[in-house]
Amino acid sequence: MRYYLYSRIFYSYNMKNNFIILLAAVCFLFSACKKDNPISSTENQRGRVKLKFDHIVGGRVLQLGSATYTNAAAENYSIETLRYYISNIKLTRQDGTVYTVPKDSSYFLIDASVENSLFPKFQVPVGTYTKLDFIVGVDSLKNTEDIASRLGDLSVDKGMYWSWNSGYIFLKMEGKSAASSSGNYHFHIGGFGGYNTQTINNIKAVSVDLTKAGSSAVQEGLSSDIHLMVDVSLVLDGKTPFSIKEHPSVMFGEFSTSIADNYQAMFRHDHTHNFQKIAGE
Amino acid sequence: MTIRTTSRRSQVNKQHLYCILGIILAIVACRKSDDWVDISPFMGFQKARNFPEPVYNFATNKITEAGFNLGKKLFYEPLLSRNNTISCGSCHISYYAFTHHGHTVSHGIEDKEGIRNALPIMNLAWNESFFWDGGVHNLDLSSVAPIENPVEMDEKLSNIVLKLQKNKEYPGLFKAAFGTEGISSERMLKALSQFMLLLISDQSKYDKVQRGEGGMLFTAEEQAGYLLFKKHCNTCHSEPLFTDQSFRDIGLGLNPAKDYGRYDITLHERDKLKFKVPSLRNLKYTAPYMHDGSYLTLAAVMQQFQSGSIKLNNEETTQILAFLETLNDAQFTLDKRFAE
């Protein structure tokens, strides 16, 4: 019954296929764990990776509230709130093997107004990593779990949770714009695929190639700081540019999928600082 | 003769004296035990013989007396609303099987009106989903909806936690309920669940007949109604919870609030105007009916169904209504353990 349920809630399109995919995923997980565990002394040696989410709007640094930006539809807007979840982080080594950050240590709520939230940190085995993967949002399984497992950033009292249609808000962006008749715009994007009926799935996987701007070399006791540029203008002007006038308030509805597609592409690797000393952080 | 009378009188007086002494003793004893509730020990969650296995995962939230009491206090706590005026119990009144009896749609904070009729809070341990549209699938998360809804309690969980932390009583009550210091939204929601899980209505005449308690039997009219019910109603209003928990459109049409029900959750065309099949338990206390409270009487509801595929004559209608009467559980609505 439980398998059946989870198979249905996973990124479901076809239930049968899902089940097979789930089984495959479980098998993969087990085999992956086996590969990760044995001998290699380096496995027990840990270093740290620190991600840095640097928010920009086109060619400018994001200034919450005060600055005015212009979208492709020539509408002016400000950004007062920008929050989104990052989760299910994975790092791929040069040889193609993957290190998956323990799931419950990989949920981070990035909030442009909270300095501390911009630097997710986690321990990884030493090695050189060439690819970073994460989800923008919260995986479907976590969306259905008991509240006891919704700790820290996942607490439902963070203002990133829909109470009436149970599920996390993956990205929240709000601000002012004269293009909107109310003077404000709200984008609350969520949708994990549905509990037992297939619904909108806005879980977006992001894959960042680290080779061009500097692989992440992790040494024991040292930090590798992966610096990402996040171009927030792409939320509006990405794959599907749209006007605030036409879509001043986007929440749980069809159009939210276009916005999710847009922000999926807003992350770019800028550079990496390897072998950083870890201060008493 | 006189003497005998006197002696009898003195005997009677003695009996009176013992009786009065006994009563005083009883009162003193009760006072000593501090609380009348102590007389009936806390039983936790008890499943009636004629009920199926509950859906709620009790392993994640062990019900204790302290947890139940905390949940009850929170349920009737106005601090849970933005301006500290209304509680869960404002719209879910125990005497009306925890509905807002007499209100088509509930009045929330500052008398703001929602678009739906408050559902009764009963037998939630068996619920697979919550609310008329089934948008929430875990009891522990269901309370967040009314608390944060701008036309209901319009408060933020994080702010309630701050209010409770400042309160004199709550820190101790949370510790008693959960073993360690600390007030969190998770604990608050779990305590509310503990209270609501015990709001079980299983003492109706129907239940007693089913369990063969005290040789209770349906009357001829009720029995006839029961057979008609099984023929016409049981598919959706399945026994013993009297709902199959599915979402259905019974042809009410779009109301002025433009409420599409289940569609708002799934965005599937096929779910437009579908609402959760409500239980038929305690109808006596839960009028008005339907998701928007637009049907004031059961007679009107029966008429609505008969305009569809169900054909019943007057006698049959009366028989079904007589059967539905047996689903009322007065004991549930009067239970002191649940009342404010």
* pLDDT per residue as tens digits for the range A208-222: 999 999 999 999 999
Query: What is the per-residue DSSP string for A219-260?
Result: -TTEEEEEEEEEETHHHHHSSS---TTT-SEE-SSTTHHHHH
* One domain for residues B109 and B211: no
| Residue B211 resides in a domain | yes
Q: Which of A157, A164, A199 sits opposite B266 (nearest CB)?
A: A199
* One domain for residues A26 and A160: no
Going by C-alpha positions, the residue among A110, A264, A133, A153 that lies closest to residue A202 is A264
Strands A60-61 and A46-57: antiparallel
- How many domains, chain A? 2
* One domain for residues A102 and A52: yes
* One domain for residues B92 and B187: yes
* One domain for residues A3 and A77: no
Cα separation, A272 vs A51, in Å, equals 9
Torsion, Cα of B109, B115, B117, B123 (10° steps): -80
The predicted model gives B132-155 an average pLDDT of: 95
- Complex-level ipTM: 0.77
| Residue A260 resides in a domain | yes
Tokens of A75: 């509408």
| Residue A193 resides in a domain | yes
* One domain for residues A54 and A11: no
Give the best residue of A197, A199, A202, A251 to mutate against chain B (max B CB count within 10 A): A197
Q: Which of A144, A161, A164 sits opposite B135 (nearest CB)?
A: A164
| Residue A42 resides in a domain | no
Contact at CB, B141 and A158, closer than 8 angstroms: no
* One domain for residues A124 and A236: yes
Q: Where residue B306 falls among pLDDT bands split at 50, 70, 90?
A: confident
| Residue B52 resides in a domain | no
Cβ-based contacts of A159 with chain B (< 8 Å): 156, 158
Q: How far is A241 from chain B (nearest CA, A)?
A: 23
Contact at CB, A147 and B138, closer than 8 angstroms: yes
* One domain for residues A87 and A13: no
Domain interval for residue A150: 48-277
* One domain for residues B87 and B177: yes
* One domain for residues A269 and A202: yes
Q: How far is B127 from chain A (nearest CA, A)?
A: 14
* One domain for residues A194 and A57: yes
* One domain for residues B11 and B86: no
Reported as a single tens digit per residue, the pLDDT across A118-134 is 999 999 999 999 999 99
Cβ-based contacts of A196 with chain B (< 8 Å): 137
To 10 degrees, what angle do helices A15-36 and A2-9 make?
Answer: 100
* One domain for residues B272 and B320: yes
**Considering only residues 142 to 181 of chain A, which have any Cβ-Cβ distance to chain B shorter than 8 Å?**
144, 146-148, 150, 155-159, 161, 163-166
Reported as a single tens digit per residue, the pLDDT across B246-266 is 999 999 999 999 999 999 999
Domain interval for residue B31: 2-39
B303 touching A, CB under 8 A? no
| Residue B45 resides in a domain | no
Contact at CB, A197 and B268, closer than 8 angstroms: yes
* One domain for residues A70 and A204: yes
Contact at CB, A163 and B147, closer than 8 angstroms: yes
| Residue B53 resides in a domain | no
The percent of residues in chain B predicted with pLDDT above 90, rounded, is 80
* One domain for residues A3 and A139: no
Reported as a single tens digit per residue, the pLDDT across A160-219 is 999 999 999 999 999 999 999 999 999 999 999 999 889 999 999 999 999 999 999 999
* One domain for residues B154 and B195: yes
| Residue A204 resides in a domain | yes
In the block, residue with structure tokens 């198979």: A7
Higher pLDDT: A27 or B188? It is B188
- How many domains, chain B? 3
Q: Which of B60, B135, B186 sits opposite A165 (nearest CB)?
A: B135
